[in-house]
Amino acid sequence: MAARVEKIFWPGNLIVFCMALLLVIVMVLSQSGGPWVLLPVGIMLASFLAGLGFTSRVPNVHLDEFRDALRHAEVLLMVDVPVQQVALVEDMVHRLHPEAAVGGVGWGIADLPV
């Protein structure tokens, strides 16, 4: 669910921020607007705070499984490959680092109930 919310709101938030920034630049360069320049600055601030609130409060579900390992200063390697190459990557990692433990979640876009 968090990934879907992020996928929906992240581009929208970014577009709103950039449009407000562009408006501020145009208003400053044309020396118009006076105190009205504070409106797009306020929109930029609200957009920034909304993004900050989202990223600080929504847990990263991909990392939750590895919290204990990260606390013990273990190395975490996250690899994003097509399903057909998972076995190849696991084999390559085990050949180069036999002490490595394979674990985690494997899913693809086909696994999402969209």
Residue 112 in domain = no
pTM for the whole structure: 0.49
Please tell me whether residue 104 adopts helix, strand or coil conformation.
Answer: coil
**Is 27 found in the same domain as 6?**
yes
Tokens of 96: 């180069």
pLDDT tens digits, one per residue of 39-88: 999 999 998 888 887 777 665 666 777 788 888 888 888 787 887 888 89
Output the pLDDT for position 105.
60
How many domains does one find in the chain? Answer: 2
Average pLDDT, the chain: 80
Residues 16 and 46 in one domain: yes
The closest alpha carbon to 42, from 21, 59, 25, 72, belongs to 21
User: CA of 21: how far to CAs of 36, 46, 57, 84, in Å?
Assistant: 13, 12, 26, 43
Q: Alpha-carbon torsion 84, 89, 95, 100, what sign? A: negative
Question: What residues make up the domain containing 49?
Answer: 2-58
pLDDT at 114 exceeding the cut of 50: no
Asked whether residue 33 is domain-assigned, the answer is yes
